[in-house]
Structure 1
Amino acid sequence: MKTTSPAERDMQAVKATGRDTRAEILRRSIRANVPVRKTFVQAPRGSACRHGPLSEFVTGRDLRGLKAYLLIVAACSNGTDGWSTRHDSAVWARMMDIDRTATEQAARTGAWRTLRRLQDRNLITCTRTGTQITVTLLREDGSGAPYKRPLGETEEDLYLQIPSTFWTKGYDEQVDLPALALLLVVLREKNGSKFPAEKAPDWYGWSADTHERGLKKLLDLGLVERRPEFKKAPLAPSGFTMAYLYQRAAGMRPRKPRKTAVVRPTGSRGKTDGIDDTKGPAAAAARRGR
């Protein structure tokens, strides 16, 4: 029987996990909330087809690709490196948890293939130099257009926000594909919205059954909440109709930017002022994009 040496045990004890890697990516990108254009989930009103690129992940059963894409947006969308991020293929594999069930070389190959699928969908470009892989964001609508930070000034530029706690608290490890898709749908809309399953094929591009399973999983995980709404219906057998209204649970609401302290000019006795960065043009644009 194979035995593990003390050195190997020590190495395994300190080795970074997938969650450690994802948390470090979020820390480096300085992200409290990750912005994703709403057109990734659903095309604007008046479009010939309302399906967004998200539908391809759902119908293609590509949970790994969807998780990887959202984390890439988190890593790149602060713009510190030209909307790009670069890591060794082993880091990409660990970020996607592929290393947990594959050999090192197979995990590296799996990470590259996942990134190539995202490139085929016109969501990123990726290049490989040795073991290093560089990924650059493209616009979330799948048009292949260059990425620009969304400001929420037009309907095509409105965006949803994913709190970084989705990753740091491990919710990303608990959701299945229907739940993750529906989480993005809920985050896209206002609190208190209805999400009728019978509309899912036309609105989003997946089945009513997938829609219902996704909402149920979100409720089970405590990521969304719902309440019934009753309306008078004189011609209904019961005399009323009922529909559920959904909203984000507290943990999935966008986190407010922290107040930063600045030193007053000379003569202020060294006191500091709390500067509220939730105000101003940039913050106003962000609020319009929610």
Structure 2
Amino acid sequence: MKTTSHIEQDMQKAKATGRDTRKVVLDRSIRANVPLRKTFVQAPPGAASRHGPLKQFVTGRDLRGLKAYLMIVAACSNGDNGWSTRHDSAVWARMMDIQTTATDQSARTGAWRTLRRLEDRKLITCSRSGTMITVTLLREDGSGRSYDRPAGKTGEDLFLQIPATFWTKGHDEHLDLPALALLLVIAREKPWSAFPAEKAPEWYGWSADTHERGLKKLLDLGYIERMKTFTKAPLAPAGYTGVYRYQRTAITRPRKPRKATQTTTTKKSAARPSRTKG
């Protein structure tokens, strides 16, 4: 009977997980929240189609690709390396959790193929040298234009924010594709907005059933909350109509920047003239 040595057991215990890898990547980006242009989810009013690039992930059932793309935005959007990030293909595979169900070589291949799908959608460019893969962000709207940090000054430049804790605390690991898509949809809008399922095909490009399943999953996980509001409707049988409205819970809301109270106090103390006894 084949047995596992203590050395092999210790090595497995020491091996980094996908969450470990994502945490280090986010720590290096030094961001409490990750910005993502709203045009990724939905095109601005007046566009020929309201569908954003997110539609392609949902209709293509590409959960791995969507998670990988959001992590790339998180890793690159601080601009320290020209909107690029570079890792060994095995690290990319671990970041995407491919190594849990594939051999090392298959995982490396799977990571490269995932990145190439994102490149085909004009969301990134990628290149490799040996086992190293470099990824560079492009504009979130899928236009293929160069990336720049969103400032929120125009309709096409408005952005939503995802807290880094979404990844570092493993909240992303509980989401299926409809739920992750709907989380981005809700993050795009103001708190307590309505998201009618019958509008999903027109507004986002996926089915009403997918829309409803995403909302239900988020509610079950406690990532969003809802309330029902009522409007007077004299011609309705009941005399009123009701609609559900949703917002993110504290788990998935952007983090507020910490106040540097200690630093401020220290500076004030340093600026205050010292008193001497006469």
Which of 253, 269, 272 in structure 2 is aligned with 1:268? Answer: 272
Report how far residue 268 of structure 1 moved.
2.8
CA distance in 2, matches of 1:163, 1:98: 23
Task: Provide the residue aligned with 1:168 in structure 2.
Answer: 168
Task: List structure 1 runs of 4+ shifted beyond 4 angstroms.
Answer: none
State the match for 1:252 in structure 2: 252
Which residues of structure 2 form unaligned runs of 5+? none
| CA offsets 1:137-164 (integer angstroms, 9 cap, x no match) | 0000000000000000000000000011
Q: Report the equivalent of 2:34.
A: 34
* Aligned residue in 2 for 1:229: 229
Q: Which residue of 1 aligns with 2:218?
A: 218
TM-score using structure 1 length: 0.91
Which residues of 2 match residues 34-53 of structure 1 at below 5 A? 34-53=34-53
Structure 1 residues 244 and 267: CA distance shift in structure 2, 3 A: closer
Deviation at 1:42, TM superposition (A): 0.3
The structure with the larger Rg is 2
**Partner Cα distance (1:211, 1:269) in 2:** 63
1:264 Cα shift? 2.8
- Counterpart of 1:264 in 2: which secondary structure? helix
For structure 1, the residue ranges without an aligned partner over 5 or more in a row are: 271-290
User: Counterpart of 2:116?
Assistant: 116
- Mapped partners of 2:145, 2:18: distance in 1: 30
Paired AA for residue 117 in structure 2: R
Overall identity of the aligned pairs, in %: 74
- Structure 2 counterpart of 1:233, which letter? A
Aligned to 1:202: 202
* CA spacing shift, 1:267–1:32, aligned 2, 3 Å: closer
Q: Report 1:86-97 matches (<5 A).
A: 86-97=86-97
**Alpha carbons of 1:171 and 1:267: their partners in 2 closer, same or farther (altered >3 Å)?**
closer
2 CA distance for matches of 1:87 and 1:200?
A: 37
Q: Which residue of 2 aligns with 1:286?
A: none
Q: Give the match for residue 284 of structure 1.
A: none
Shift of 1:267: 4.5
Q: CA deviation at 1:124?
A: 0.3
Aligned to 2:140: 140
- How far apart, in 2, do the equivalents of 1:248 and 1:267 lie? 43
Residue 269 (structure 1) shift = 6.3
Aligned to 1:156: 156
Given the two structures, how large is their TM-score scaled by the length of structure 2?
0.95
TM superposition shift of 1:236? 1.6
Q: Alignment length, in residue pairs?
A: 270
Q: Residue 15 of structure 1 corresponds to which residue in structure 2?
A: 15
Q: Give RMSD over aligned pairs.
A: 1.3
